[in-house]
């Protein structure tokens, strides 16, 4: 008996095709994801490189000293302060827009966070207030060892974890990454702000290089990346 000429696929053929597509998707999806993340990481690194060159130009103008965390503003009513992101604006190539200076320095992993909210300074032993509980503003750039970071992905400031203890796990990955007492209205004033580049963050070091550091190394002060917890150490 002559077989009936089939049209279309049998169920088995269809399942095989679906299986192959699923395998290809499983292989390609992480590739697409990592290409996207690589792009974000490199935009973020270029932000930090710009900060590095602005810091170095600022230090040239100020006897080798880095900007303070904040200072009395040269504009506006008395009592207004400029944060470091405003202080370095004249040295930033990509500055634009509003006077408060939070419209630049955006990490693509958290486009809702800008400027001081997107990048944290190594506080207070490298970048501190000019006069506040013994703080002495910015350190001397040429006295900071090259393994010590100056600015990192994060929120506002990161108090050196060699000095203050992180006791809260913000991203629930089993690693204590934040000082619980410094969370106010959902804003983290000390610790990990929850934006990650593949389980780590970008850091600007004192010699101007920018490197990715795993969150674990960042939190545990591996290789002494936070420097020594002394106000006079790098002055
Ligand atoms: Zn970033």
Any domain includes 43: yes
Q: Using 50, 70 and 90 to split pLDDT, how confident is the model at 94?
A: low
Identify the helix (H) or strand (E) that includes residue 7.
none
For residue 181, the CA-to-ligand 1 centroid distance in Å is 24
Any domain includes 4: no
For residue 44, the CA-to-ligand 1 centroid distance in Å is 4
Cis bond upstream, residue 33 (ω within 30): no
Give the chain's largest Cα–Cα span: 100
DSSP line for 55-114:
HHHHHHHTTTBPPPSEEE-SSSSTT-EEEHHHHTGGG-TT--S-TTS-SS-B-TT-TT-B
Q: Is the pLDDT of residue 135 over 80?
A: yes
Given a contact cutoff of 8 angstroms between Cβ atoms, the answer to whether 44 and 202 are in contact is yes
Expressed as residue numbers, the domain containing 135 is 11-224
Given a contact cutoff of 8 angstroms between Cβ atoms, the answer to whether 121 and 84 are in contact is yes
Given a contact cutoff of 8 angstroms between Cβ atoms, the answer to whether 217 and 192 are in contact is no
* pLDDT tens readout for residues 5-51: 667 778 888 899 999 999 888 888 777 778 888 899 999 999 999 99
Any domain includes 159: yes
Among 111, 79, 80, 85, which Cα is nearest to 98's? 85
Measured in degrees and rounded to the nearest 5, phi and psi for residue 123 equal: -115, 145
Take residue 220 and report the two structure tokens written for it.
């545990």
* pLDDT tens readout for residues 145-199: 999 999 999 888 888 877 888 899 988 888 898 988 888 887 888 888 766 898 8
**Total tally of structural domains belonging to the chain:** 1
Any domain includes 173: yes
For residue 48, the CA-to-ligand 1 centroid distance in Å is 9
Determine what percent of the chain is predicted with pLDDT higher than 70.
Answer: 89
For residue 222, the CA-to-ligand 1 centroid distance in Å is 20
Any domain includes 204: yes
For residue 41, the CA-to-ligand 1 centroid distance in Å is 6
Any domain includes 231: no
- How many degrees, rounded to 5, is the angle at CA 155 between CA 153 and CA 161? 80
Q: Residue 65's Cα: distance from chain center in Å? A: 22
> Average pLDDT for residues 60-70, to the nearest whole number?
95
Class of residue 119 by CB neighbours under 10 A (exposed 0-12, middle 13-18, buried 19+): buried
Q: What is the pLDDT of residue 99?
A: 45
CA distance 23 to 18: 9
Q: Residue 81's Cα: distance from chain center in Å? A: 23
For residue 201, the CA-to-ligand 1 centroid distance in Å is 6
């Amino acid at each position: 008996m002559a077989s009936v000429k089939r049209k279309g696929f049998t169920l088995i053929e269809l399942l095989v095709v679906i299986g192959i597509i699923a395998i290809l998707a499983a292989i390609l999806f992480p590739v697409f994801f990592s290409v996207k993340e690589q792009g974000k990481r490199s935009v973020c690194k270029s932000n930090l490189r710009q900060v590095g060159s602005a810091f170095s130009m600022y230090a040239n103008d100020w006897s080798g000293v880095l900007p303070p965390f904040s200072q009395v503003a040269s504009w506006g009513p008395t009592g207004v302060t400029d944060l470091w992101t405003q202080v370095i604006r004249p040295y930033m190539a990509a500055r634009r827009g509003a006077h408060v200076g939070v419209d630049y320095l955006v990490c693509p992993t958290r486009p809702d966070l800008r400027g001081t909210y997107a990048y944290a300074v190594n506080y207070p032993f490298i970048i501190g207030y000019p006069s506040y509980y013994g703080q002495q503003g910015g350190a001397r750039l040429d006295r900071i060892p090259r393994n010590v970071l100056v600015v990192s992905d994060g929120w506002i400031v990161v108090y050196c974890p060699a000095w203050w203890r992180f006791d809260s796990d913000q991203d629930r990955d089993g690693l204590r990454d934040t000082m619980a007492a410094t969370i106010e209205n959902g804003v983290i004033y000390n610790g990990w702000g929850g934006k990650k580049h593949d389980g780590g963050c970008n850091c600007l070091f004192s010699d101007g290089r920018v490197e990715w550091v795993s969150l674990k190394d960042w939190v545990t002060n591996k290789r002494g990346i936070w420097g020594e917890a002394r106000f006079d150490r790098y002055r």
